[in-house]
Structure 1
C-alpha cells in the first residue's frame, strides 16, 4: 500500500536487504475512479476524492521520499549521479476531463512534485522525471467493453491505438540513461489532447 507509511517503509527495507539501496524508483501505482464533483446524487463524497489523492499523490510522494533518502547514502556514479525517481502522471494533469477531478488533481500534483524534487536533490545527484501517459493498454482501460476501447483508441492521432507497457518502459529506460534529463514531465500520448468529455 503505497499510501501507507509503514507498508512502504517495509517494502523499501525488504528491497534494500535483498539488493542493496535502490538507485532507481519507478512510481506506477494509481487508481482512476470516475466521478463528477457534483453528480446526480449530489456532491462527490469527500472520502472518494481523498482516496484518489492518497493513492496517486501521497503514495507517489511516500515512495519518493523513502527512495531518495536511501539514494542519498549511495556512492556517486559518473557525473556524481546517485539515482533517479521516475513518477507517473497522466495527460489528465493537463487536460482533465469531466468526471476526472480527483484523478486530474492527483496527477497534476505528481507533475508539480517533479521540478521540486529535481531542485531539492540536485546537490545529491538524484534526478526526478515524470512520464505523463495518454491512453495506455493497462487493466484500467482493457477492462472496458471492446467497442469503448476501439472508440477511445481512434481518438489518438498517431498511432491510433493504446500505448503499450513496453513503450512506457522504453521512455523510462531513456530517462535513466540520459543524465541531462532532469526535472521534466514528458508526455507519452501519440499527440492526443483530451476533450472535456
Structure 2
C-alpha cells in the first residue's frame, strides 16, 4: 500500500516505539498525527516531523475521535499504529498475602487492550470511506502486543493478560475489516531499549540483552518502526502476530 500523501495516526507517538514509527512514516511522505497524553513531548516531535499533535487518552472515545478527525482533515487516513500502553508488576498474591489490587488490573487492561480496540475501531471507521487502492485496499493497522502475551513472567498477570488480548483480537478484527479492505497485524516486541530503561544502569541492559539468542542486546525503537512500516505497506501481510525479540523466551523471572 502506498502511504505517500496519506495520513496516519500513531498513538503513544510522543516517545519510544511510537515516536520512532511516527518519524519513519513522516520520512516516507505520510502526514502523521501523534496522539499522546504527553503534550510537551508530543508537540515537540510533531513539530520536528511536520506532523500534528492531538492530546489523547486512548481509553477516551471523544479524544481518539479528535485525533481521527485531525488526520482526515489533512489527507485520507490509511494507517494506524497503536503504541499507547504501559506495564506494571504485581503478583496475584503478594508474599505478605495481599491480593493483587483489582483497580490496578483493570487499569492495565483498560489502557492496553480496550484503548487499543478503541483506536482501531474509530480509525477503521474513517478508513472505510477512503478511495481504495489496488485490490480494494483502503488502509492498514498495526497493534502492539508483547512477548509477555506468550511468556508472561511472575508479576505480569495484568500486563500479560492485556497483551494476550491484543494478540487475540488481531485475527477476528482482521476478518471483520477485510470487508472494507483494511488489514490488521500485531507486533509483539521483546526487551526494547526505550525510555522505560533510560535510567537503568548499563549492567541491567547487558543482563537483559544476554538473554536474547542473537544479537545479544536489547532491541531499539527503529527496529520496531521498520517492521511496522513493512506491515503497513506490504499488502500481503495480514492477520499476523510477529515477535520482534531476537529469539528471547522469557523465564518465570
Aligned-partner SS, 2:204: helix
Aligned to 1:53: 109
Q: Deviations over 1:121-171 (max 9, x none)?
A: 112110000000001111123333332222111111101111111111111
Alignment of 1:156-171 (within 5 A): 156-171=212-227
User: How far has the Cα of 1:52 moved from its partner?
Assistant: 0.4
Scaled by the length of structure 2, what TM-score is found?
A: 0.75
Aligned-partner SS, 2:178: coil
Q: What is the CA–CA distance in structure 1 between the aligned matches of 2:199 and 2:118, rounded to whole Å?
A: 28
Aligned to 1:85: 141
User: How far has the Cα of 1:11 moved from its partner?
Assistant: 1.8
Q: 2:90 aligns with which of 35, 38, 53?
A: 35
RMSD after superposition? 1.1
Q: What is the CA–CA distance in structure 2 between the aligned matches of 1:5 and 1:143, rounded to whole Å?
A: 33
Scaled by the length of structure 1, what TM-score is found?
A: 0.96
> Any conservation in 1 of the 2:90–2:157 contact (CA below 8 Å)?
yes
Gaps of 5+ in 1: none
User: How far has the Cα of 1:22 moved from its partner?
Assistant: 1.4
4+ runs of 1 displaced by more than 6 Å? none
Verify: 1:185 aligned to 2:241, yes or no.
yes
> Any conservation in 2 of the 1:142–1:149 contact (CA below 8 Å)?
no
Aligned to 2:163: 107
Verify: 1:65 aligned to 2:121, yes or no.
yes
Aligned to 1:133: 189
Q: Deviations over 1:10-46 (max 9, x none)?
A: 22222222x2341000000111111111113500110
Q: Deviations over 1:82-108 (max 9, x none)?
A: 000100000000000000110000000
